[in-house]
Amino acid sequence: MSEAATSNTTELPPPFESLGQPEMRLELLSQPRYLCGGRSMVESVALRLGFDELNAGQIALAVDEALAIVIRHGYDKATDRRIWMSLWPAEPTTGKEGIHIAIEDEAKQVDPAGIKSRDVSEVRPGGLGVYLIEQIMDAARYEQRDPIGMRLMMTKFAKKNPSNDKH
Amino acid sequence: MSEAATSNTTELPPPFESLGQPEMRLELLSQPRYLCGGRSMVESVALRLGFDELNAGQIALAVDEALAIVIRHGYDKATDRRIWMSLWPAEPTTGKEGIHIAIEDEAKQVDPAGIKSRDVSEVRPGGLGVYLIEQIMDAARYEQRDPIGMRLMMTKFAKKNPSNDKH
Amino acid sequence: MQIETETTSDATIINPSGDVDLSVSRELQAAVKKVMEEKPQRVIVNLAGVPYMDSSGVATLVEAMQIARKQETRLVLCGMQDKVRSIFEIARLDKVFTIVDDAGAAASA
Amino acid sequence: MQIETETTSDATIINPSGDVDLSVSRELQAAVKKVMEEKPQRVIVNLAGVPYMDSSGVATLVEAMQIARKQETRLVLCGMQDKVRSIFEIARLDKVFTIVDDAGAAASA
Ligand SMILES: Nc1ncnc2c1ncn2[C@@H]1O[C@H](COP(=O)(O)OP(=O)(O)O)[C@@H](O)[C@H]1O
Ligand SMILES: Nc1ncnc2c1ncn2[C@@H]1O[C@H](COP(=O)(O)OP(=O)(O)O)[C@@H](O)[C@H]1O
């Protein structure tokens, strides 16, 4: 049990509830024309939180893909639903420069285990969104919100630690 | 009285309550490092709403100035307070391409009439924020929120109408 | 986004400009399909004017490649900016497409 | 933001890079003040690496101009990108500052 407690404190991404009020929180309509606003915001904040341009751009891509998945799959392209994106600097919770991001919706709940990236060596259009998110972020986790909707938690650090294990 | 009713429906910026739920709403901590997120978001959305690059950039500047005024004057540079920015496309309410923006805080209330732009022909550092907002936006109005805080309502159209009066 | 198409004696060149994301990828898809229907020998998609692309844009280009292969059209991508190249690399599609630096090189790639 | 300063025989050149907004304008202010304390004949602020500036950055430069006038330092701005020029124009400061195209022109303006 004490082992579980320890691994809980280092869980990545950290539990949503443990992060407290986000430093930025964006609510947007489920319309593709607003994707640009979400990703631009994240990109410029990531630059301020210590990421270089390439990595800030990739975080923006991960966010764009996550929002687009909610629009296409969660809301079946309905344009009158709401999506929330929350940001926290990773430093206070992890001691490392980086960012935690949550994407939340009020869509039908699905089994998080069923949201998987596919084998990209098979070249076909589509099915890249989850793969890109997993490749870009250091950690990503889908979960069911209480009482409705899904949540994607993501964490990325500005610089990889030479040693993976700080303990 | 009927005159007042007519002029109310064409008031610019429209009354906050008349605009309904914003299509995007950003809540941010009162920290200068997050200004970039607010202005980048607005800039890219303005481009999608029909503004050219120069005007989208100027709207971003107006938003940056408005947020900075809240941080400096409303919150006296406290970094743990909240600011809200809401966006609506102007088309549904005005029939013209453009954007409505609201910036809200929970700061001490001041008399909106006291928030004025200064004479810029007198060259001195500072005091340009309100002037820039008024120059850039087609309409801007400070008001007291109920029950606390201030609100800045702003409207800008993508293209000036050749005739100013549509009626 | 704007999409301009030009036809030379050797190739049809598609020049999209602006971010290609979910809100506009269908426009690119339609433009590519229309060009492919002519069954040109060579189609060049010049991405020099595209600062950003997400997976919906990539999907459109993968689809274009599949059509191209069926009808023996040569499909070449060129002018990729760094951010756009990065999504092709992460998705391991940088070796699947023929990607060259500029429109000049694309004419003979 | 990063600020590099170089000194030639004729001038001190300040090269800020990155957006200049409320979060970094004090760094620019400190760099400018430090340079002004040396009372150089000519100070050039090269804004080529500054894609964005808000009124806190402008205030810093107005302050620099006031110091420069008092001590007879020549202050020249150069390399302004369109967006940055636009705030100087709106604030009607484009005629108050000496603004030239590039560092070469600034050396003799
Ligand atoms: N919020 C969500 N609600 C429902 N399904 C989701 C949600 N998020 C992800 N998914 C699932 O994850 C997958 C995302 O697919 P993705 O990798 O973007 O490829 P594509 O959308 O092109 O098929 C889909 O299979 C979808 O069923
Ligand atoms: N939310 C607010 N709360 C208090 N005062 C405000 C608020 N918004 C604007 N003001 C007033 O408006 C003015 C804004 O100043 P500004 O034009 O940016 O110049 P500066 O901040 O450089 O003096 C200040 O005089 C301030 O008192």
pLDDT at site A9: 58
Q: Which residues contact A49 (CB under 8 A, 6 or more apart)?
A: A89, A90, A97, A98, A99, A158
- pLDDT tens figures, A15-70: 999 999 999 999 999 999 999 999 999 999 999 999 999 999 999 999 999 999 99
The ligand minimizing its distance to the Cα of B77 is: 2
B88 CB-contact burial (10 Å; exposed 0-12 / middle 13-18 / buried 19+): buried
- Pocket probe for ligand 1: among A115, A117, A154, the residue whose CB has the most ligand atoms within 8 Å is A115
Ligand 1 atom showing the smallest separation from residue A115 Cα: 12
Protein residue closest via CA to atom 26 of ligand 2: B73
- Mean pLDDT of the region D88-99: 97
pLDDT at site C85: 97
Residue A128 CA: distances (Å) to CA of A19, A36, A136, B122, C99: 29, 19, 12, 57, 20
pLDDT bucket at D64, cuts 50 / 70 / 90: very high
Q: Which residues contact A155 (CB under 8 A, 6 or more apart)?
A: A12, A13, A14, A90, A94, A98, A99, A100, A101, A137, A138, A139, A140
Whether C31 has a pLDDT exceeding 60, the answer reads yes
- Mean pLDDT of the region D62-86: 97
Which of the residues B122, B132, B137 would you substitute to probe the D interface, choosing the one with the greatest number of D C-beta atoms within 10 Å? B132
DSSP for B21-43, please give it.
S-SEEEEEES-GGGHHHHHHHHH
Query: What residues in chain B have per-residue pLDDT under 50?
Result: 1-8, 161-167
- Shortest CA gap A112–chain C (Å): 21
Whether A120 has a pLDDT exceeding 60, the answer reads yes
Single-letter residue type at B39: R
| Subunit contact A37:B38, Cβ cutoff 8 A | no
pLDDT at site A160: 58
Buried b (16+ CB within 10 A) or exposed e, D6-29: eeeeebbbbbbebbbbbbbbebbb
Cross-strand pairs, A98: A157
Between CA B43 and CA D83 the distance in angstroms is 12
| Subunit contact A120:C55, Cβ cutoff 8 A | no
pLDDT bucket at A165, cuts 50 / 70 / 90: very low
Between CA B160 and CA B139 the distance in angstroms is 12
Contact A130, A115 (CB under 8 A): yes
Determine which of A82-86, A136-140, A162-166, C77-81 has the lowest per-residue pLDDT on average.
Answer: A162-166
Q: Of A24, A27, A31, which is closest to B37 when you measure between CB atoms?
A: A24
Question: With a 6 A CB cut-off, is B127 part of the ligand 2 pocket?
Answer: yes
Contact A104, A151 (CB under 8 A): yes
Cross-strand pairs, C16: C3
Q: Is the peptide bond before B13 cis (omega within 30 degrees of 0)?
A: yes
The two three-digit tokens of residue D16, written as one number:
């800020």
Q: Is the peptide bond before A13 cis (omega within 30 degrees of 0)?
A: yes
- pLDDT tens figures, D4-14: 999 999 999 99
pTM: 0.94
- Mean pLDDT of the region C14-29: 97
Residue A5 CA: distances (Å) to CA of A153, B34, C8: 20, 33, 67
What is the distance in A from the centroid of ligand 2 to the CA of D72? 33
Work out the angle between the directed axes of helices C55-71 and C25-37 (0-180°, nearest 10). 10
Q: Of D58, D63, D86, which is closest to B128 when you measure between CB atoms?
A: D58
Helix, strand, coil percentages, rounded to 5, for chain D: 40, 25, 35
pLDDT at site B166: 38
Helix, strand, coil percentages, rounded to 5, for chain B: 40, 20, 40
**Would an 8 Å CB–CB cutoff place B79 in contact with chain A?**
no
- Shortest CA gap C70–chain A (Å): 14
The ligand minimizing its distance to the Cα of C63 is: 1
Size of interface A-B (CB pairs under 8 A): 73
Q: Which residues contact B89 (CB under 8 A, 6 or more apart)?
A: B23, B49, B97, B98, B99, B100
| Subunit contact A125:C86, Cβ cutoff 8 A | no
Contact B152, B112 (CB under 8 A): no
- pLDDT tens figures, C45-71: 999 999 999 999 999 999 999 999 999
| Subunit contact A123:C21, Cβ cutoff 8 A | no
Question: With a 6 A CB cut-off, is A89 part of the ligand 1 pocket?
Answer: no
The ligand minimizing its distance to the Cα of B72 is: 2
Between CA B24 and CA A120 the distance in angstroms is 34
Question: With a 6 A CB cut-off, is A149 part of the ligand 1 pocket?
Answer: no
Spell out which residues of chain D touch residue B33, defining contact as CB-CB under 8 Å. Answer: 23
